[in-house]
Amino acid sequence: MIPSPAIANIFQGVASRQQMFRMFDRHAQRPNRWDGDAAPFYADEWFEIGETEHDYMFEILPPLWIRGSMFAMREYMTGSVTSVLFALRIDEAIRYFHGYCDLSGKASVETMHVAIIERESRPVRAMTRQERLEHIWSTTADDYRGYAGDKWPQSARGKRTVVLYGGNEGTFLKLLEELTDGEIAVKLPVHLHRLPSPIAA
């Protein structure tokens, strides 16, 4: 299943260097990895990083381009999608973000820039249901996440799955998109349990 094209915050909080590198290719297990256009899997995903990680990315290779407080990586992730790094002033503090932008679209970088500022300027750091699911996917180890295969109904094949623990029933797979609120709460770190929904923000 190709993820939604909507711009998505895929990690709550500031990612460490290890987390950052894991999220660079969080769709590595997708079905038919080497077939078709992978751009829809990566384009428009973003997350926050630290200043050290931002500077590290700047120093790896000469940037493809620099525009004010933004720069693009010279090496493309896939097709016309590459990393764009942002240093943004939000609530009087400079914060740093990584996003995958499809440079075939002239407005992709500016659209992500605006979306990040809008998302991070909320009075309350609320998380939508989709953000909670994306955070779970980003932080689940590869051995405990995957994609529905041939044993699943046709309508589910290719969709993302995660392993759940069913007590006496042991472990079982469930589609990420079908997790209940209770299952989401179990999979989220404790410090994220009490974050409100955007409706309450």
Mean of pLDDT values over 12-25: 93
pLDDT in tens, 155-185: 998 899 999 987 777 888 899 999 999 999 8
pLDDT in tens, 111-164: 999 999 999 987 666 788 999 999 999 999 999 999 998 899 999 988 999 999
CA atoms within 13 A on the CB side of 86: 21
Q: Mean pLDDT score of the chain, rounded to an integer?
A: 86
- Local confidence band at 105 (pLDDT 50, 70, 90 cut-offs): confident
pTM for this structure?
0.85
For the chain, the domains span: 8-120, 134-200
